[in-house]
Structure 1
Amino acid sequence: MSGNPILPGWYADPEAAVFDDTYWIYPTTSRPYAEQVFFDAFSSPDLVNWTKHSAVLKIEAISWAKEALWAPSVVEKDGKYYFFFSANDIKNDDEVGGIGVAVADKPEGPFRDYLGKPLIGTFHNGAQPIDQFVFKDDDGTWYLIYGGWKHANIVRLKDDFSALQPLPDGTLYKEITPAPEYVEGSLMFKRDGRYYYMWSEGGWGEPDYAVAYAIADTPTGPFKRIGTILQQDPAIATSAGHHSVIHAPGSEDWYIVYHRRPLGETSRHHRATAIERMSFDAQGHILPVKITHEGVKAHPLK
């Protein structure tokens, strides 16, 4: 079994990916914002044994960033690896920051700034430009879903990730906020022809942080909240949220990777990364996830 937490140290907002025959996790380094100035990565052949790759992206490689690097989303395209990130925790359009992109030749980096400026550096539809997730649809279209401050947007990326391009309805920024409870941590995946949209609710420093979801027939919705599927267990850990999802290639096995706060920890920065199985019922609804100390069994990709 993997055991939980699966990564040593304080890490949050884990982005999980599969590149070739290896699982990857790219988390936020969970520290005060002034100390969030680099990203580590972790790789595994089987979800149980993890290898640390230190400082795969450093703030020195991003000319416009100064602090608060968080919430990676990493994808592979045409032999390159693109690392989307949030920086500077901007509060208005007069500040420099938002969502950026870095690129590397290998999943372990080193990553370098791709654009020399934020990809999204201003507020639209009330959404703070943070917590981005990159989603590729079956037709090859790339979308980015993001947003904090209780608003979520979807945008369409140009094929080279250099800028945005209009959605089919002509808009650049389409609001898809699924529920009043929405806070942050967007994620999207497709299963059996339907689009699952997941997000975090509550305050990330509070015990009741949780994950909820919705389903729609298109990536732009409309989405209507179905229910909560991940939350604290006062006997195990609190503040369970800001997750990602792994669908193991060639299988029906799904996993949820998330962060939580160990019992007895009071600092909001003391967050640890964990993993559990994720299951669906006959109607395709996500079943509530039980958080555990045991984690998951090994699932080698080779």
Structure 2
Amino acid sequence: MKKKTLLLALVLVVISTYGQKKFSGNPLFPGWYADPEGVIFGKTYWIYPTFSAPYEKQVFMDAFSSQDLVHWTKHEKILDTANVKWAKRALWAPAIVKNKNRYFLFFGANDIQNDQETGGIGVAVASQPQGPFKDYLGHPLVDRFHNGAQPIDQFVFKDKDGAYYLIYGGWRHCNIARLKDDFTGFVPFKDGSVFKEITPEKYVEGPVLFIRKGKYYFMWSEGGWTGPDYSVAYAVSDSPLGPFKRIGKVLQQDPGIATGAGHHSVIQVPGKDEWYIIYHRRPLTEKDGNSRETCIEPLYFDAEGLIKPVVLTTTGVPARPLK
């Protein structure tokens, strides 16, 4: 009897050990999701993506959380246009930051084509990362075309001195503006301007900025988002204001795995020189522009600090709990 009990216990241990998912796999979670914003709050990884669908159906956002990059929990409809009176459609490309114990979600809405249309970049606020988020201002934060930049694809960057910047722009133009501490507007630069253009060569949309070893890494998407050649390139500068000279592509399609790899975000394991790139791509079986999945890969740097080309995989990354 003891031998049977011991054998059963051993079998259960083996099943438990080998039944656990040890790699994230790609995509990270089911469903069509794009433009993923990856971030860490406390000991939890979060991803805030665009619900990838026709614009008229893009009226809400979901979020996903994980303790280890492998097992993900879905948080449904953390933001809905029902809570943003001026937003009607094309809710996309979220960016989120925590500021004074509140969570601020920046989003694009309505896909405006000129200064006469209502829409642009908005801000929503919540007391917890899973929301629910409600409109913070009652109107868009940016609702005009400045320097030719369509007010979409917003990214919020916190500099070393604690200052927050909004970096955004479609239509091949990118602006940077310093946010007020309460995110209700902007602080003019010393020359009196509010929106400074920092557009690098071949920029299209999807800006991302982060600091590594004192250098500012600026990344963006190139090409058309519905096509196979969508990709990500980057530049490095000593200032968040640039100048940013394009170095080259680091993320692009692999015809054997997926196409349209782009519009990404970058996360760093706190206190470690350990980085991940979270992005969307299109399965080889899909041709519809909205058929996009959220994926993850490691992000590596060489001895000179240049970003190594990202290798697309179906395995993703191994489990990485935060201590």
TM-score, reference length from structure 1: 0.99
- The reply to whether residue 16 of structure 1 matches residue 38 of structure 2 is yes
What does residue 136 of structure 1 align with? 158
1:1-302 equivalences under 5 Å are: 1-179=23-201, 181-302=202-323
Deviation, 1:170, is: 2.3
Three-state SS of the structure 2 residue aligned to 1:60 is helix
Deviation, 1:264, is: 1.4
CA distance in 1, matches of 2:215, 2:254: 30
CA distance in 2, matches of 1:168, 1:46: 43
CA distance in 2, matches of 1:273, 1:168: 40
CA distance in 1, matches of 2:278, 2:29: 11
| Amino acid paired to 2:251 | L
CA distance in 1, matches of 2:301, 2:203: 22
Q: Deviations over 1:84-137 (max 9, x none)?
A: 000000000000000000000000000000000000000000000000000000
CA distance in 1, matches of 2:291, 2:278: 17
Identity %: 64
CA distance in 2, matches of 1:216, 1:171: 21
CA distance in 1, matches of 2:191, 2:311: 40
CA distance in 2, matches of 1:168, 1:87: 30
| RMSD (CA atoms) | 0.6
| Amino acid paired to 1:119 | L
Three-state SS of the structure 2 residue aligned to 1:84 is strand
Three-state SS of the structure 1 residue aligned to 2:303 is coil
| Amino acid paired to 2:27 | P
Deviation, 1:187, is: 0.5
Three-state SS of the structure 2 residue aligned to 1:71 is strand
CA distance in 1, matches of 2:189, 2:65: 35
CA distance in 2, matches of 1:220, 1:199: 15
Q: Deviations over 1:168-188 (max 9, x none)?
A: 332100000011x11000000
Q: How many residues align?
A: 301
CA distance in 2, matches of 1:168, 1:89: 31
For structure 2, list consecutive stretches of 5 or more residues without a partner in the other structure: 1-22
Deviation, 1:251, is: 1.7
| Amino acid paired to 2:43 | D
Moved over 3 A (4+): none
For structure 1, list consecutive stretches of 5 or more residues without a partner in the other structure: none
Deviation, 1:7, is: 1.5
CA distance in 1, matches of 2:189, 2:261: 33
Structure number with larger C-alpha Rg: 2
Three-state SS of the structure 2 residue aligned to 1:225 is coil
| Amino acid paired to 1:301 | L
